[in-house]
Amino acid sequence: MILDGDNHNLARLNATLACHFEEWMEVEVKESKAIFSWTKMYELHDADIHTLVSYYRKRIPCACLEEKYKAEKSVKKMGLCYNPNCSLPERKAERSKMFCCTRCGDVNYCSVECQKDDWKAHRQFCDVIAAKKAAFNSDKQS
């Protein structure tokens, strides 16, 4: 799908489904994570070509994506700003410049302003996520 060049939407869908399965395995089967990373799945759903190639390249044990990776690695990886009122086109920003919520670590913002603007809405989820992670970590240390 990636090498075809015409099926990026199908590649995004398959990556999202694979990511969902990986998250489920980590949380429910292996019990090695406290919660699902919904943000990771949302980003794969709308992923740029660099993110898609990187995702598949880490999971496919052959060198078939090496050339495509070299061609696409100059494309900036984009992330999704969690603030629904973000003014950026498609709420996307260069991932390396984004801010992660330091409390829950599960959502990203394009700016401190977007993070502040979304805090009232995010706070209720942040509390739940942070509590689940803290409980998980304390259980693992016991």
Residue pLDDT, tens place only, 14-49: 999 999 999 999 998 998 888 888 888 888 888 888
pTM of the entire structure?
0.76
| Mean pLDDT along residues 52-67 | 87
Using left for φ > 0, alpha for ψ between -120 and 50, and beta otherwise, residue 141 falls in: alpha
CA–CA distances in Å: residue 95 to residues 61, 81, 138? 26, 9, 31
Residues 6+ apart with CB under 8 A from 129: 35, 104, 106
